[in-house]
Amino acid sequence: MQLVTPAIGLVFWMILTFSMVLVILKKYAWNPILSSIREREKTIEDSLLLAEKTQADMIRFQGENESLLAEARKERDLMLKESREMRDKIIGDAKTIADEEAKKLINRAQDEIEKQKAAAIDELKREVSVFSVQIAEKLMQQHLENNDAQKAIIEKQLSQLN
């Protein structure tokens, strides 16, 4: 029976001690410990959230970079294409101009050649007529006193040359 009979003294000291322990621990231990645990949990959670956000940002930045790069590449291709077209056009233009110029030059040269040819023919004709006259003179000097009729034929033939 003694074992299950609570002693009043022990009850008294227990209430006193326990309430003091409760008050002291609450003020100096549990509240600071729990608040710092909460704080630390918050820090950890915040850090995790931040890390997650950073990762998402990184992925987004990476995507942005890629699209930027693709855009730049497209622009470069466009520029290259444009410049190639420009080059082709310039070369083509230059070719047509050069062709025309060449044709002009050739035409002029042909004209000149024709003119020169005509002049040369004229010159040749005159020279030939002179030579012929001289030859004829020499021939005639030998034969003319013989035949006036022949002299007339030669005259006739010469006029026909003209």
Return residues touching another protein (CB under 8 A): 2-15, 17-18, 21-22, 24-26, 28-34, 36-37, 39-40, 43
Q: Which is nearer to another protein, 31 or 147 (CB)?
A: 31
Q: Which is nearer to another protein, 48 or 69 (CB)?
A: 48
DSSP the chain: -GGGS--HHHHHHHHHHHHHHHHHHIIIIIHHHHHHHHHHHHHHHHHHHHHHHHHHHHHHHHHHHHHHHHHHHHHHHHHHHHHHHHHHHHHHHHHHHHHHHHHHHHHHHHHHHHHHHHHHHHHHHHHHHHHHHHHHHHHHHHHTTT-HHHHHHHHHHHHHH-
Min CB(48)–another protein separation in Å: 14
Q: Which is nearer to another protein, 25 or 113 (CB)?
A: 25
Min CB(49)–another protein separation in Å: 16
Q: Which is nearer to another protein, 15 or 102 (CB)?
A: 15
Query: Could you give the CA distance from residue 114 to residue 121 in angstroms, rounded to a whole number?
Result: 10
Min CB(55)–another protein separation in Å: 23
Query: Could you give the CA distance from residue 142 to residue 110 in angstroms, rounded to a whole number?
Result: 46
Min CB(18)–another protein separation in Å: 7
Min CB(57)–another protein separation in Å: 24
Q: Which is nearer to another protein, 29 or 86 (CB)?
A: 29
